[in-house]
Amino acid sequence: MASDQECDEVDVFSCMRERRSIREFTDEAVSDKELYAILEAGTHAPSAGNMQAREFVIVRSPEGREAVAATTDAGITSRGTVLTQRWVSRADVIIVICYDRRRMGARYGDKGRTDMSKLDCMGVAQNMMLATTALGLGTTCVIGFDAGRLKDVLGIPAELTPLLLLPVGRPAVQPQQVSRLQVEELIRAVR
Ligand SMILES: Cc1cc2nc3c(=O)[nH]c(=O)nc-3n(C[C@H](O)[C@H](O)[C@H](O)COP(=O)(O)O)c2cc1C
């Protein structure tokens, strides 16, 4: 996988506004260079104590992607639409974001093995999603899968816990805007 990047610099605020969950993809491949840029963006995410609990499993083969999709279950969007998650297999590559609970656990105990490791992965996922948008690619953060079954089908070692899937591909559609609560609606108190 190439490490040299020639990605255009894109304003982060534009990426945050433009990012949408993408669940339909064209047949066009994601290049090694693009994939590396997305993974590298993940490495820049903050991490409690800089323990960097995150590790990635990359699934590129059609059989592997089918096997991952078979471990998914239905999710529900903010608009209440029930989804099957078979679409996951139609992405060109699936990034499985895992954490090694021993890393944060060694320093922070139970909270490190649970909350802190999961938050570490979410920061990684957000960086990767913004990088995906910046590259003109699409993805969705997916938590609707059976982690135990996924470990079995991908042969993920016992010490790793898969938390999120990022199926990445070239968007086949431009999804509609979703409604967002405004800042004023989210500020509960100013003290
Ligand atoms: C932690 C997390 C888990 C999610 N899991 C799923 C999922 O399993 N399947 C799915 O289709 N979308 C999933 N989503 C995507 C949300 O449905 C999506 O972000 C939301 O509907 C808002 O749409 P937008 O991403 O286009 O802004 C998840 C998002 C987050 C943050």
State pLDDT tens for residues 69-85.
999 987 555 565 556 69
pLDDT tens for each residue of 174-189: 888 899 999 999 999 9
CATH of domain 12-171: 3.40.109.10
Residue 106 CA to ligand 1 center (angstroms) comes to 31
Residue located nearest, by CA, to atom 23 of ligand 1: 21
Residue 20 Cβ contacting ligand 1 at under 6 Å: yes
Between the CA of 143 and the centroid of ligand 1 the distance, in Å, is: 8
Tens of pLDDT, residue by residue over 32-45, are: 999 999 999 999 99
Where in the chain are the domains? Answer: 12-171
- Residue 107 CA to ligand 1 centre (angstroms): 31
- pLDDT at position 9: 75
Tokens 């066009």 correspond to: 28
Query: What are the residues whose beta carbons fall under 8 Å from the beta carbon of 87, sequence distance 6 or more?
Result: 23, 24, 69, 167
Among 123, 126, 130, residue whose Cα is nearest residue 10:
130
Written as one string, the DSSP assignment of 35-95 is HHHHHHHHHTS--GGG---EEEEEE-SHHHHHHHHTTB--EE-TT--EE-SGGGGGSSEEE
Q: pLDDT by residue (tens digit) across 47-58?
A: 999 999 999 999
For the ranges 2-11, 65-74, 82-91, 110-119, the one whose mean pLDDT is highest: 110-119
What is the pLDDT averaged over residues 3-32?
A: 86
With a pLDDT cut of 90, the percent of the chain lying above it is 86
Average pLDDT over residues 155-167: 98
Q: Which two tokens stand for residue 158?
A: 């016992």
Does ligand 1 have an atom closer than 6 angstroms to the CB of 43?
no
CA 125 to ligand 1 center in whole angstroms:
12
The pTM (predicted TM-score) of the whole model is 0.93
pLDDT grade for 5, boundaries at 50, 70 and 90: very low
pLDDT for 187 equals: 97
- Inform me whether the pLDDT recorded for 3 exceeds 50: no
pLDDT digits (tens, 9 = 90+) for 101-117: 999 999 999 999 999 99
Region 110-130: what's the mean pLDDT? 98
